Amino acid sequence: MTRITASLLALAPLILLGGCEIGTKTVEQVGPRGSGTDLVVHKATTPKVAAVPPPPFELTIDPAGQKASQAYQNVQVLGDLSADEFNYTMAALTNWVSPDDGTLKNGGCNYCHNPENMASDELYTKVVARKMLQMTRAINSQWRPHFAASANGGNAGVTCWTCHRGQPVPAYRWSAAPDDAATLKGKKFGQNTPGMTTAAYSSLPYDPFSSYIADKQEIRVQGPKALPRGHVASIADTEKTYGLMMHFSNALNVNCNYCHNSQNFANWSQSRPQRVSAWYGIRMVRDINNNYISALGDVWPANRRGPHGDPYKVNCLSCHQQNNKPLGGYPMLKDYPGLKGPAAQTMVQAVATTQPAAAPTAEPGAAPAAATPPA
């Protein structure tokens, strides 16, 4: 009896660990054998891609027809579209953000417009929608490098549906975390509050976003030399960086090897192309949060702000929603050419005007010159 009990106790840890791994996994080798670059995906946790709504109607563009800016008053964005394509895009936007399905007090067009004066800017939602349309066109025209490793040759792009999925406010958003007060259990110092939308249920800092995808703090923790002098980042910054990486992993439903080679996380030459896409994605999200969302300032009412009074902003989960390609890479933009935006310089060029075009390869965390992102 004693031997049986001892055997069961010996097996208990294996049984418990096995319980954490129940379910079918898919394993994909994405690098050379022995390089530690296998992607492991748990099928049960992979959400189904949301059904993409069809276009509102068949669009026929008359090249000789009126432009929206001529047909309607106060059209500050999309005025370069024909009146027909403008109406088509507005109908789609209504379905993406404020469908008139009885769930909203003022669903449909009335969510943004005064029906008696459609040109009026009296509703804050219209002012916000205008800014978000500017943002969408900027993403599709200026941040193409972020989509380079995506499906359809990087041409999938984004629409309002990518984040909103039929809701006025995207389900996944964040604001600056409130200061946690000291309790009988002690002060948590911004940690030990596990949640899916923050650091993937870990005890790591639950607000890595304020520092890295709103502010522009460096996301580098590996030093160029061995310990004890090679690790130049503080423990606090290291934990915050790992919290952000956990968020990335959860938001895309991938492991670290989706971007990194586990033999050398810092080395760009051994990384996958997805790491370059992520580099641009971080800067794209900063651009969205600072130049489009926070830039609206007092336009945001109290119910659209977090506990510190800052507006709700986006992170990787807002678009990806636990898929490595938003909407599974579905090329939704092909049906809405008006959201591609006018031809513009890419953000590769725009960023390069303020930062070095490439960093020395010895610099930890720097991208290689071949990948072209600045340091």
25: which DSSP letter?
E
pLDDT at residue number 66: 92
Q: What are phi and psi of 39, to 5 degrees?
A: -90, 125
Looking at the chain, how many residues does it have? 375
pLDDT at residue number 371: 44
pLDDT digit string (tens) for the chain, length 375 residues: 566 655 555 555 544 444 455 667 778 777 777 666 777 777 776 777 778 999 999 988 787 789 999 999 999 999 999 999 999 999 999 999 999 877 777 789 999 999 999 999 999 999 999 999 999 999 999 998 888 755 555 578 899 999 999 999 999 999 998 777 767 667 778 888 888 888 888 889 989 999 999 999 988 887 667 777 767 788 888 899 999 999 999 999 988 888 988 888 888 888 888 999 999 999 999 999 999 999 999 999 999 999 889 999 999 999 999 998 999 888 899 999 999 987 544 444 444 433 333 333 333 344 444 444 443
Question: 26 pairs with which residues across the strands?
Answer: 41
Which residue type, as a one-letter code, is found at position 329? G
86 alpha-carbon distance from chain centroid? 27
As a whole number of angstroms, the distance between CA 285 and CA 139 comes to 10
Sign of the torsion angle spanned by Cα atoms 197, 199, 203, 208: negative
Q: Where are the alpha helices (DSSP H) in the chain?
A: 2-20, 68-71, 83-97, 124-142, 160-164, 209, 235-252, 273-288, 316-320, 347-352
Place of tokens 């004693």: 2
Sign of the torsion angle spanned by Cα atoms 364, 365, 371, 375: negative
Q: Residue 38, SS3?
A: strand
Burial class for 60, CB neighbours closer than 10 Å (0-12, 13-18, 19+) = exposed
pLDDT at residue number 348: 44
**CB 269: neighbour CB atoms within 10 A?**
11
Question: 25 pairs with which residues across the strands?
Answer: 42
Q: What is the pTM of this model?
A: 0.83
Q: Are 202 and 246 in contact (CB under 8 A)?
A: yes
Angle between helices 273-288 and 124-142 (to 10 degrees): 150
Q: What angle do CA 374, 133, 93 make, to 5 degrees?
A: 135
